[in-house]
A and B are shown apart, each in its own frame.
Chain A
């Protein structure tokens, strides 16, 4: 079982803002280790969406933003679009270079 907990699902209408949380512990997120976010469209490999807590790789729309506070992190999608319907995973690591993925959140566009 994952050490990073995410809500199973979030939903919103087109154009709305949705957020999802990623809750870790004092040994990973709370210890200052980076949080990354991945988007997985149906039937495809995950894609890096946010790295280093709040940085977007080239080509990722600025509708996606990340933040981190304490032992948790959050991903926000503003101006939700139908193409954003996907599974989203957070990922962090610890001092022994053990990586962890979150439990995943399914985003539905109503």
Chain B
């Protein structure tokens, strides 16, 4: 059974750096093709893909946010980390991590419950 759970601060100040952790079970990031993606959703708005990290440490980022994002992993601890710099109130929203079935089809078949991040001074 695959599960994922996001954790991190619920409130950050403008200009600060956000770091979120995705802790997962039921799969390994040593498995060929597998990845963990990050997706966010501002309140009342659509989903926005942020990026993904794959088993071989290949990383892909949203072009519009690439300069602010870093995704890393700790395979031994079954954790993936999202770092987003220079946070702004428009970055407020629910942040999800999700299991990416394969880098050939980018299919997010299991999702965490999400964590709400508010950016405010």
Contacts and interface: CB of A to CB of B under 8 A. Distances in A.
- Main SS of the interface on chain B? loop
Contact of B46 (A36, A96, A102): A102
Contacts of B48: 2, 101
Nearest to B62: A98
Given A45-B114, A101-B46, A91 B108 contact: yes
Q: How large is the interface on A (under 10, 10 to 19, 20 to 34, 35 or more residues)?
A: 20 to 34
Contacts of B46: 2, 89, 101-104
Interface in B104-119: 105-114
Main secondary structure of the interface of A (DSSP, over half): strand
24 contacts: A2-B48, A34-B107, A36-B106, A40-B47, A45-B96, A46-B111, A48-B110, A51-B101, A51-B105, A51-B109, A52-B105, A57-B109, A91-B47, A97-B52, A97-B58, A97-B103, A97-B106, A98-B49, A98-B63, A99-B49, A99-B60, A101-B39, A101-B46, A101-B49
A51 B106 CA distance: 10
Interface of B: 37, 39, 46-49, 52, 58, 60, 62-63, 96, 101, 103, 105-114
B105 A99 contact: no
Nearest to A48: B109
B52 A45 contact: no
